[in-house]
Structure 1
């Protein structure tokens, strides 16, 4: 049985969501730190644009699907768009909205993987 690309993609998105959740948690933890710049991770769509999805030969006469791995880019916004005298760019309300978005994305990712796994198990049984 060949590896299923959907599971690789879901795994990549879960890793990306974990990194994004860590960046958001760091922003919330440093909301009162003078000069702290908001950390933000690049959108998942840009991560996908950098990856090559396709067939690759593992042995002569055999093919398998694969996704090239790349690190996720986290950038800091030091002093950009700061309205506070401390030059802290963290807006707590925005960070809480991002955290909620990450939670919903994790739930959607998990639901899709569960449904696809269930469908595969039914096709193997039948």
Structure 2
């Protein structure tokens, strides 16, 4: 089996590709900050199956359940990475809804995520080389 087909390596490679694509989208948002009527876009985070492949969606019936009455009840409404609540300052006089502060925050989070994935990718390859005896 090629090294690229290992689940961990494949997941990390897919995550880095997603981060690269997201960075392009965020850069477009910043570049169009003064374009009238422009709406900021973002990418949905990829979901992975236990075998390491990308999951299109969660299986039917899969959701958040409260297993103990002392636990907080989950709403299942989404994750914190989904679109943030807009503040009253988001729409600027040009008529667009791009908040430069939000976009720069997303870009810095995206950069940190990419660096983490790249570091894990490099370390996993080093570990495989060590296991092979190189």
Q: TM-score, normalised by structure 2?
A: 0.65
The answer on whether the counterparts of 1:53 and 1:68 sit within 8 Å (CA) in structure 2 is: no
The structure where strand makes up a greater share of residues is 1
1:120 counterpart = 2:120 = no
The answer on whether the counterparts of 2:49 and 2:55 sit within 8 Å (CA) in structure 1 is: no
Higher relative contact order by CA 8 Å / sep ≥ 6: 1 or 2? 2
The answer on whether the counterparts of 2:33 and 2:99 sit within 8 Å (CA) in structure 1 is: yes
For these two proteins, the number of residue pairs brought into alignment is: 101
Matches within 5 A, 1:90-109: 90-109=98-117
Deviation of 1:87 (Å): 2.3
Query: RMSD value over aligned CA atoms?
Result: 2.4
The answer on whether the counterparts of 1:31 and 1:91 sit within 8 Å (CA) in structure 2 is: yes
Q: TM-score, normalised by structure 1?
A: 0.68
Runs of 4+ in structure 1 displaced over 6 angstroms? Answer: none
**Cα distance in 1 for residues equivalent to 2:21 and 2:126:** 28
